[in-house]
Amino acid sequence: MDAPAVDLSTILCGVRLPNPTVLASGVLGLSHQVMARVARAGAGGITSKSCSLKPRAGYHNPTILDWGMGLINAVGLSNPGVEVMVEELQAARELLAPQGIPLIASIFAETIYDFGTVARFISPARPDLIEVNVSCPNIDDRYRLMFAADPYVASQVTRRVKLNTDIPVLVKLSPNVTDLSRIAEAVVEAGADGITAINSLGPGIILDVKTLRPLLAHVTGGLSGSAIRPIAVRCVRDIRRAVGEEVPIVATGGVTTGRDVVEMLLVGAAAVGIGSAVAQRGMDVFRQVNEELRAYMVEHGYGRLSDLRGKALPFV
């Protein structure tokens, strides 16, 4: 007897994904060849590595450590700059479009004004969506804080980006704030089409207890991976309650299995980003996660993702 039909597709800001798994920014998203390989491995969407106006070297090695429950990293947002990334994104589009896999271009900047400039320069590559990384540790000289830490600053970045592109915009938020719900409301009021949550948690420190030295060259780093998933689930719940059902959320943070995807969907996610699990388990994680998700839906009688999206919200 054939298994019941299950539709894993989802809609994100008007863009169709064949399944809800998205390669998170910062992992394997620098070259068009690798982005195409990730798509062939089963990802439903691809997010490029965050790019800035000018090339950025990042921090010295070691920059990433697997500490068992996830990763700690201080890469420093290294990237070749927007001019090079435009070429990579254009090449990636040619490879991904025939597969029906959307491309999300991640951007960041050091000032509010430059966010708009990067958005304008990246738009001719015609990614399906732009993800605006306001949760990186770069400092705006005027405000002296992380862009995602203040509702007004985050909204100003969002407005600047929206003025410079006609491509749907996701704003990537941080868990390292006092009122995530208010910040989510502010970026949506400023025009954000959707939200990605969360970025890494921290910063944290891991020491070599023999040498008494930090294991990362930068000393501190952001935590990601399975250890932070419960925090990510709570953040997605809070954002969904704040902005309502119409604003899609890409839930990112510690997703490793199909069960984790289900959990994110149950608190209202439209799609789910996978990052650290790719670094720890390889590209095949996308196929495995989707198989586990499909098996769960068959077992529990769900035919579409919309059948379980948000179903846990009355209880949490």
Which residues 6+ apart lie within 8 Å of 211 measured at CB? none
Give the count of beta carbons closer than 10 Å to the beta carbon of residue 129.
24
| Amino acid at the residue 109 | A
CA distance 195 to 239: 9
Q: What are phi and psi of 75, to 5 degrees?
A: -75, -35
CA distance 165 to 117: 10
Q: Which residues are catalytic?
A: 136
- CA 254 distance to own-chain centroid: 11
H or E stretch covering 35 = helix 32-40
**Positive/negative CA dihedral, 74, 20, 283, 280:** positive
| Amino acid at the residue 253 | G
H or E stretch covering 224 = strand 221-224
* Burial (CB count <10 Å: 0-12, 13-18, 19+), residue 215: middle
H or E stretch covering 143 = none
Q: Residue ranges of the alpha helices (H) in the chain?
A: 32-40, 82-96, 112-122, 151-163, 180-189, 229-243, 258-266, 276-281, 285-300
Residues in the chain: 316
H or E stretch covering 283 = none
User: Which tokens belong to 52?
Assistant: 């800035």
CA distance 80 to 238: 35
CA distance 250 to 264: 9
